[in-house]
């Protein structure tokens, strides 16, 4: 049974929504399937890095995007051995947007969805979960939904996250690099400040990240893999005491944690597919490579995948050409930056976080690498470049078929 769809995308996260926007912009008939009824879920990655902001600028969307409420991070800091050290200074990046935009991910996804709906060939379908693949003579021909409905298309993109059902159904080979940590996410109140104070603290036996969200901290408390049950068993008062010892400045507000329901677990995974494709199917984003929260680069790496996929495939797909021979080129383009970033994340896991959270190490002096950043501030431009722009940054090169509807008046 043939379909008039060029592309079906499973997953309405950052990779899926950006891919949907770009392929529709190129004239492809696209349907994005999102299993939830909306994008409203807390403690998802909320950092939109300069690499992504530059892509929005290239699309002519940056000014409108930045009208939405957001905070801006221009420096990332770390407190260790009672020293505050700038570890990444974004203010010297060779781009227009020299900051990380902090915005709830649901607002970012709503923005992409609103822009994509302006294209005649785009459709977003909510509460539509892809649970299986349609395979005809060894080629993927679409997806099967949880309600039994079949959705056929010339190409299927699996953007259904780190627990991707479709990559498993496609039997794509995966290597697990190991992650020795998990993260507990929660909010704590704070007084607004004139300058964003986002950073991390190497405390006694843990590492705590504090994202400055204006009137509250979005905090990440690092624990050893699988240790969350032990943390909870000790009780919330003990957790509050440990948090106060690790970050004394939070002590006055830790009592706002009244229930474990306020503390969410992020089970950290670090893995990647060794093959991202098979005929008729391409995996991108977390479905192709689950990233650690170290550096907060996962969302932006996923978006770079979507841009590369559109750059390589969209024109041929819109022209009804066979794109199967091109699928491996997307992996070849994106595998190098994936490997480089994962090597760096694993090094942080093994050399810093494992001793800290598993052996309860106490850093009573500044490590050599951080000491260099403190002594020579110009060096903070190097991690800023890696975090802000990444490796092998993509640019918008996919075509614009000019099938955009007349935009409704902005509120």
pLDDT digits (tens, 9 = 90+) for 172-208: 999 999 988 999 999 999 998 888 888 888 877 788 9
pLDDT grade, residue 407 (50/70/90)? Answer: low
CA dihedral 53, 57, 60, 62 (to 10 degrees): 40
Topology, domain 7-177+269-388: FAD/NAD(P)-binding domain (3.50.50)
pLDDT at 276: 98
Closest by alpha carbon to 125, among 28, 288, 8? Answer: 8
pLDDT grade, residue 409 (50/70/90)? Answer: low
pLDDT digits (tens, 9 = 90+) for 38-47: 887 655 678 9
Do residues 34 and 12 make contact, with C-beta atoms less than 8 angstroms apart?
Answer: yes
pLDDT at 152: 96
pLDDT grade, residue 410 (50/70/90)? Answer: low
pLDDT grade, residue 371 (50/70/90)? Answer: confident
pLDDT at 1: 45
pLDDT digits (tens, 9 = 90+) for 68-102: 999 999 999 988 877 889 999 999 999 999 999 99
pLDDT digits (tens, 9 = 90+) for 322-357: 999 999 999 999 999 999 999 999 998 888 888 888
pLDDT grade, residue 214 (50/70/90)? Answer: confident
Do residues 50 and 76 make contact, with C-beta atoms less than 8 angstroms apart?
Answer: no
| Domains of the chain, residue spans | 7-177+269-388, 181-224+226-266
Q: Which two tokens stand for residue 409?
A: 């008046």
pLDDT digits (tens, 9 = 90+) for 254-303: 999 999 999 999 889 999 999 999 999 999 999 999 999 888 899 999 99
pLDDT at 81: 76
Q: Which two tokens stand for residue 262?
A: 């306020």
Average pLDDT over the chain, rounded to an integer: 92
The pairs formed by 242-247 with CB atoms below 8 angstroms and a separation of 24 or more are 242/205, 242/206, 243/208, 245/203, 245/204, 246/201, 246/203, 246/204, 246/205, 246/206, 246/208, 246/221, 247/201, 247/203, 247/208, 247/210
Do residues 81 and 366 make contact, with C-beta atoms less than 8 angstroms apart?
Answer: yes
- Percent with pLDDT over 90 in the chain: 73
CB atoms within 10 A of CB 24: 30
pLDDT at 411: 53
| pLDDT: which is higher, 181 or 398 | 398
């Amino acid at each position: 049974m043939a379909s008039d769809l060029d592309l079906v995308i499973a997953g309405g996260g950052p990779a899926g929504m950006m891919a949907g926007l770009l392929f529709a912009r190129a004239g492809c008939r696209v349907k994005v399937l999102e299993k939830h009824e909306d994008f409203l879920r807390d403690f998802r990655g909320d950092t939109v890095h300069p690499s992504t902001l530059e892509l929005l600028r290239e699309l002519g969307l940056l000014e409108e995007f930045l009208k939405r409420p957001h905070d801006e991070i221009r420096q990332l800091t770390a407190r260790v051995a009672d020293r505050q050290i700038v570890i990444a200074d974004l203010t010297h990046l060779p781009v227009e947007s020299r900051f990380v935009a902090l915005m709830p991910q649901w607002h970012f996804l709503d923005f992409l969805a609103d822009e994509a709906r302006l294209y005649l060939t785009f459709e977003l379908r909510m509460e539509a979960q892809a649970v299986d693949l349609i395979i005809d003579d060894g080629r993927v021909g679409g997806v099967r939904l949880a309600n039994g409905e079949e959705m056929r298309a010339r190409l299927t993109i699996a953007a259904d996250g780190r627990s991707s059902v479709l990559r498993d159904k496609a039997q794509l080979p995966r290597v697990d690099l190991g992650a020795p940590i998990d993260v507990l996410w929660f909010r704590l109140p704070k007084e607004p400040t004139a300058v964003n104070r986002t950073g991390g603290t190497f405390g006694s036996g843990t590492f705590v990240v504090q994202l400055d969200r204006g009137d509250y901290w979005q905090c990440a408390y690092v624990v050893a893999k699988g240790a969350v049950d032990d943390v909870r068993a000790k009780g919330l008062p003990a957790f509050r005491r440990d948090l106060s010892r690790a970050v004394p400045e939070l002590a006055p507000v830790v009592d706002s944690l009244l229930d474990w329901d306020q503390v969410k677990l992020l089970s950290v995974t670090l893995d990647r597919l060794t093959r991202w494709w098979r005929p008729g199917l391409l995996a991108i984003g977390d479905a192709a490579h689950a990233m650690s929260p170290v550096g907060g680069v996962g969302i932006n790496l996923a978006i770079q995948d979507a841009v590369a996929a559109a750059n390589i495939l969209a024109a041929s797909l819109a022209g009804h050409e066979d794109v199967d021979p091109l699928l491996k080129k997307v992996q070849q383009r994106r595998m190098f930056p994936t490997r480089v970033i994962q090597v760096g994340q694993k090094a942080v896991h093994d050399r810093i976080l494992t001793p800290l959270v598993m052996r309860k190490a106490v850093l009573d002096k500044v490590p050599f690498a951080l000491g260099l950043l403190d002594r020579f501030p110009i060096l903070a431009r190097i991690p800023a470049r890696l975090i802000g722009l990444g490796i092998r940054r993509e640019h918008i090169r996919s075509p614009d078929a000019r099938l955009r509807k007349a935009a409704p008046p902005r509120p």
